[in-house]
């Protein structure tokens, strides 16, 4: 049901209110969380690809970007916009079951996607498993968890029950999975949790 909801919205997603602002503000998030020298980066729950251009414009951009989404139409729209980029790969899969080898990535981003994941602890554990030692997992939104949860409730339908835990709670969950907390920031304009895979 949720996949169908996103697929239905895919053709108009980028024209929805707030999406242009999301693209511009995402650059600030990426500059803070993407480690220098990042060779392989996974954009988990990539949607229509709001992070692709800001990632490629970083002073030290990733060598390889994997755009992963569970909604085929969202991923198709992403590919339509960015498919000419040689260093971008597209994978249709659930971020809770990422089809990649363990310890094969330098950075995993979950931007504006985690609330739509049913089993968040299992998904985070799976994503952490993809990181090499010292690799980073970053979860980001452009509003507080309280505001985001209220927005999903007001939208209703397939996303009515989608929830994001407070940043400190999410950071603690990642720590319980063996990660080292680098940042847990939350205010009305930002939600950023960054953790590092321990050796």
Instruction: Find the CATH number of the domain harbouring 80.
Output: 3.40.50.150
Report yes or no: 39 and 62 within 8 Å, Cβ to Cβ: yes
- Residue of 192, 152, 194 whose CA lies nearest to 25: 192
* 29 belongs to a structural domain: no
Confidence of residue 127 (pLDDT cuts 50, 70, 90): very high
Q: Which helix (H) or strand (E) holds 170?
A: helix 167-176
- 95 falls within a domain: yes
| Mean pLDDT in residue range 47-74 | 96
Residue 12 clears pLDDT 80, i.e. is over it = no
pLDDT at 117 over 70: yes
For residue 180, give the 3-state DSSP assignment: strand
Average pLDDT over residues 173-184: 98
Quick check: 19 pLDDT over 80? no
- Number of domains the chain contains: 1
- Examine residue 94 and state whether it is found in any structural domain, yes or no: yes
Query: What range does the domain containing 193 cover?
Result: 2-10+34-197
Q: Is residue 20 part of a domain?
A: no
In a domain, 144, yes or no: yes
Question: Running DSSP on this structure, what letter comes out for residue 196?
Answer: E
* CA nearest to 197, candidates 127, 122, 136: 136
The verdict on residue 188 lying in a domain is: yes
Alpha helices in 34-144 (DSSP H): 52-56, 72-82, 120-129
pTM comes to 0.93
Which of 102-106, 127-131, 160-164, 169-173 is predicted with the least confidence, judged by mean pLDDT?
160-164
Does residue 22 fall inside a structural domain?
no
Query: 7-16, 42-51, 110-119, 174-183 — which is least confidently predicted?
Result: 7-16
- Please name the residue that has the structure tokens 């007001």: 154
What would the mean pLDDT of 54-68 be, rounded to a whole number?
97
66 Cβ neighbours under 8 A, 6+ residues apart: 40, 41, 42, 43, 88, 89, 90, 91, 100, 105
CA distance 87 to 65: 6
Asked if 19 and 171 count as a contact pair (C-beta separation under 8 A), the reply is: no
Residue 19 counted as domain residue: no
Length of the chain: 199
β-strand partners of 120 = none
């Amino acid at each position: 049901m949720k996949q169908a909801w996103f697929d239905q919205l895919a053709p108009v997603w980028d024209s929805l209110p707030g999406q242009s602002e999301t693209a511009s503000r995402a650059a600030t998030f990426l500059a803070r969380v993407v480690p220098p020298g990042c060779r392989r980066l996974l954009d988990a729950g990539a949607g229509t690809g709001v992070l692709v251009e800001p990632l490629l414009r970083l002073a030290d951009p990733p060598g390889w970007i994997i755009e992963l989404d569970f909604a085929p139409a969202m991923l198709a729209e992403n590919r339509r916009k960015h498919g000419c980029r040689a260093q971008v790969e597209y994978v249709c899969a659930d971020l809770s079951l990422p089809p990649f080898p363990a310890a094969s990535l330098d950075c995993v981003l979950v931007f504006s996607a985690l609330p739509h994941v049913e089993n968040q602890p299992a998904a985070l554990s799976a994503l952490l498993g993809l990181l090499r030692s010292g690799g980073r997992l970053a979860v980001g939104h452009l509003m507080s968890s309280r505001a985001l949860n209220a927005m999903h409730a007001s939208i209703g339908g397939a996303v009515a029950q989608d929830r994001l835990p407070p940043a400190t709670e999410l950071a603690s969950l990642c720590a319980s999975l063996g990660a080292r907390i680098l940042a847990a920031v939350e205010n009305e304009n930002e939600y950023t949790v960054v953790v590092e895979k321990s050796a």
